[in-house]
């Protein structure tokens, strides 16, 4: 049984698809048509190529859920059986075929009520088809939420850079995040920018941590609040305006001013922050993991999520990835250890180890990304060649969700 598969649904599909494979093979065999070549099916039957491919794939596909998705609809099955009768298929075979098709239609009605939802259920249970199925729905959700929420962006990115503190016992942390091609799709839509926020493994806020802008804000009046940590070099001009800033439970948010709609008012907004001596460089009772989170609240085409870590802070294992849906509200953005595994979303994504130095982190989605990383290292006087980058890219991330990258911290070396 595949992960997450409902046993009753799975058993029903397997039993029905075996019957469907058998009866379709028997019909083709009665007409002297090979089931080893899809071209033979539609050419010798003189039917639509698409229908021929479906019949072939029902028989040939080894994944029962994908095979079931290829079963033609009611009208197409009826036409196929009528054609088979005219071409000489025995009545006894056609009678059983009509029964098998009827049982399959009843299966669709019982489990889903219609073919569209049924096919989505099949794809969700298929190891081969799951990613394609969910991605199509994620894209549809992106299009819907872009207009319901009134905003969208081409790329959201979030990069956490970890270096040893001056004495080597703690982490110094830089956080760079932003949106490229951010636009409004309806009038009067403000939006929020967040500051970096730190907790220990028990989700207790580290309120003593002082988070500062990576670069001093400009004082030329181009934006309203000197506290906003804009990384001005990589923001579009004029700089975005902020109409309010507020703090709640240690989290600081800034509200972007409303702006005109459409591509002519598209902006790029990037923020950068630095915090010193945030948590231990080594595994402790309070801090076993280095876990970074990014929250997906904005409809975007893709999310680029990076961890860039100094070689001295690398743990014994590569990072793990978690993607949680935020539909209950009570555990928003908590660490993975305290989350229910049932709130994980069935989205296929992995973490790539990119290598050392800014050049290894190049991405087509952010043309100036390597330049920006180099600028961060220069500002903080960190040796870029000693940092390793890990990345995950998620297309059309679910809104709302939290994406978490968790690394087991190294143990302190003993003399």
Is residue 172 located within the same domain as residue 304? yes
Is residue 188 located within the same domain as residue 296? yes
Domain assignment present for 265: yes
How far apart CA 404 and CA 340 sit, in angstroms, is: 14
pLDDT in the model for residue 243: 82
Which of 33-42, 151-160, 201-210, 341-350 holds the top average pLDDT?
151-160
pLDDT in the model for residue 248: 65
What are the Cα distances from residue 379, in Å, to 95, 110, 214?
78, 62, 8
pLDDT by residue (tens digit) across 48-86? Answer: 899 999 999 999 999 999 999 999 999 999 999 999 999
Is residue 264 located within the same domain as residue 334? yes
Domain assignment present for 413: no
The residue with greater pLDDT, 236 or 257, is 236
Q: Give the CATH number of the domain where residue 264 resides.
A: 2.60.40
Query: Looking at residues 158-174, what average pLDDT do you find?
Result: 96
Is residue 124 located within the same domain as residue 149? no
Pick from 99, 128, 157: which residue ends a domain?
A: 128
Is residue 244 located within the same domain as residue 339? yes
pLDDT by residue (tens digit) across 3-28? Answer: 445 558 999 999 999 999 999 999 99
Is residue 120 located within the same domain as residue 176? no
Residue among 244, 173, 170 nearest 214 (CA)? 173
pLDDT in the model for residue 223: 46
pLDDT in the model for residue 3: 44
Domain assignment present for 356: yes
pLDDT > 90? residue 242: no
φ/ψ of 9, rounded to 5, equals -60, -45
Pick from 64, 96, 128: which residue ends a domain?
A: 128
Domain of residue 362: give its range.
137-408
φ/ψ of 272, rounded to 5, equals -140, 135
pLDDT > 90? residue 222: no
Pick from 93, 128, 163: which residue ends a domain?
A: 128
Instruction: Name every residue whose Cβ is closer than 8 Å to that of residue 381 and which is 6 or more positions away in sequence.
Output: none
> Above pLDDT 70, what percent of the chain?
90
pLDDT > 80? residue 188: yes
Is residue 120 located within the same domain as residue 174? no
Spell out a b/e string for 83-115, using b for 16 or more CB atoms within 10 Å of the CB, else e: bbeeeebeeebbebbeebbeebeebbeebbeee
DSSP letters for 115-157:
HHHHHHHHHHH-TTTHHHHHHHHHHHHHHHHHHHTSEEEEEEE
Domain assignment present for 415: no
pLDDT > 60? residue 225: no
For residue 312, give both structure tokens: 């001295």
Domain assignment present for 313: yes
Is residue 149 located within the same domain as residue 123? no
φ/ψ of 112, rounded to 5, equals -135, -20
pLDDT > 90? residue 1: no
Is residue 272 located within the same domain as residue 207? yes
Domain assignment present for 50: yes
Residue 252: band (very low, low, confident or very high) from pLDDT cuts 50, 70, 90: confident
Domain assignment present for 395: yes
Q: Where are the beta strands (DSSP E) in 142-250?
A: 151-164, 171-184, 191-194, 211-213, 242-248
pLDDT in the model for residue 35: 80
Is residue 180 located within the same domain as residue 280? yes
Is residue 156 located within the same domain as residue 254? yes
Peptide bond into 267 cis (omega under 30): no
* CB of 209 closer than 8 Å to CB of 200: no
How many domains is the chain built from? 2
pLDDT > 60? residue 2: no
Is residue 94 located within the same domain as residue 153? no
Domain assignment present for 241: yes
């Amino acid at each position: 049984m595949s992960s997450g598969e409902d046993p009753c649904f799975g058993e029903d599909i397997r039993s029905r698809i075996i019957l469907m494979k058998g009866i379709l093979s028997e019909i083709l065999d009665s007409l002297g048509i090979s089931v080893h070549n899809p071209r033979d099916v539609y050419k010798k039957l003189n039917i639509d190529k698409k229908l021929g491919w479906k019949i072939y794939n029902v028989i040939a596909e080894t994944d029962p859920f994908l095979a079931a998705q290829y079963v033609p609809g009611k009208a197409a099955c009826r036409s196929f059986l009528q054609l088979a009768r005219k071409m000489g298929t025995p009545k006894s075979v056609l009678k059983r075929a009509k029964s098998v098709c009827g049982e399959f239609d009843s299966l669709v009605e019982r489990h889903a009520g219609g073919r569209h939802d049924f096919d989505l259920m099949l794809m969700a249970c298929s190891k081969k088809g799951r990613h394609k199925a969910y991605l199509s729905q994620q894209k549809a959700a992106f299009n819907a939420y872009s207009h319901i929420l009134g905003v969208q962006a081409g790329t959201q990115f979030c990069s956490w850079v970890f270096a040893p503190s001056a004495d080597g016992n703690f982490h110094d942390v830089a956080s760079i995040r932003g949106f490229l091609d951010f636009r409004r799709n309806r009038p009067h839509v403000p939006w929020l920018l967040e500051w970096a926020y730190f907790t220990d493994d028990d989700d207790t806020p580290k309120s003593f941590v002082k988070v500062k802008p990576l670069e001093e804000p400009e004082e030329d009046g181009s934006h309203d609040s000197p506290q906003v940590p804009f990384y001005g070099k990589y923001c579009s001009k004029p700089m975005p305006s902020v109409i309010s800033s507020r703090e709640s439970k240690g989290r600081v948010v800034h509200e972007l001013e409303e702006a005109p709609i459409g591509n002519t008012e598209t902006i790029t907004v990037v923020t950068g922050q630095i915090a010193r001596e945030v948590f231990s460089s080594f595994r402790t009772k309070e801090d076993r993991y280095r876990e970074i989170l990014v929250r997906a609240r904005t409809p975007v085409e893709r999310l680029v999520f990076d961890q860039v870590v100094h070689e001295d802070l690398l743990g014994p294992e590569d990072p793990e990835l978690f993607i949680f849906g935020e539909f209950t509200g009570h555990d928003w953005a908590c660490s993975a250890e305290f989350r229910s595994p049932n709130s994980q979303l069935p989205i296929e994504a992995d973490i790539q180890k990119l290598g050392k130095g800014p050049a290894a982190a190049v991405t087509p989605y952010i043309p100036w990304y390597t330049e920006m990383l180099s600028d961060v290292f220069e500002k903080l006087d960190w040796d870029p060649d000693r940092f390793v980058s890990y990345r995950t890219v998620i297309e059309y991330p679910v809104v709302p969700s939290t994406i978490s990258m968790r690394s087991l911290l190294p143990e302190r070396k003993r003399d």
